[in-house]
Amino acid sequence: MYTSNMLTKRLRFHGHGSLRYLYKNADAFRSRMFTVKVIHNPHRKHSRFSVVVSKKVHKSAVGRNRIRRRVYEILRNEYPHIVGIHDVAIIVTSGEAITADHDEIKTTLHELLAQAGVYK
């Protein structure tokens, strides 16, 4: 049986409307590779996540998708430790995310999400 490394569909954003609201109103936390935008959302049952990788970060779609998959995999493993219901956008700001090792990405994301108050 195939098991996906991706975050389940109910934990991801759909459409641009709610992302636009998040970009405009959320608090931003920055590191060398990522910007994390977080806003509390009491209207939902589950947190929602989005990983955004622009063409400026990596030219090829294959590379952008690889970065996106790596970040979603870390989020999937970290989800049980997240408390509260938040909308979270992780914006990849540096192309070094494609070559960085897994632990470095995980540590960076963990620190940013902790700053944002998403963890227990």
> Domain total for the chain?
1
Residue 82 in any domain: the answer is: yes
Amino acid 67: pLDDT: 95
Within-domain flag for 19: yes
Check residue 48 and give its pLDDT: 92
φ, ψ for residue 107 (rounded to 5)?
-65, -45
Residue 120 lies in a domain: no
30 in a domain, yes or no? yes
Output the pLDDT for position 77.
Answer: 92
Question: Hey, what's the torsion of the CAs at 44, 83, 30, 68, to 10 degrees?
Answer: -70
For 109, the domain range is: 9-115
Place of tokens 């992302």: 19
pTM: 0.90
Question: Would you say residue 49 lies in a domain?
Answer: yes
Assigned domain for 3 exists: no
pLDDT of residue 70: 94
Q: Is residue 17 part of a domain?
A: yes
| CATH assignment at residue 23 | 3.30.230.10
User: Which residues sit opposite 37 in a β-bridge?
Assistant: 28, 89
Tell me the pLDDT of the chain (120 aa) as tens digits: 545 667 888 888 887 788 888 999 999 999 999 999 999 988 989 999 999 999 999 999 999 999 999 999 999 999 999 999 999 999 999 999 999 999 999 999 999 999 999 987
Q: Residue 15's pLDDT is what?
A: 76
DSSP for 59-107?
A: SSHHHHHHHHHHHHHHHHHHGGGB-S-EEEEEEE--GGGGTS-HHHHHH
1 within some domain: no
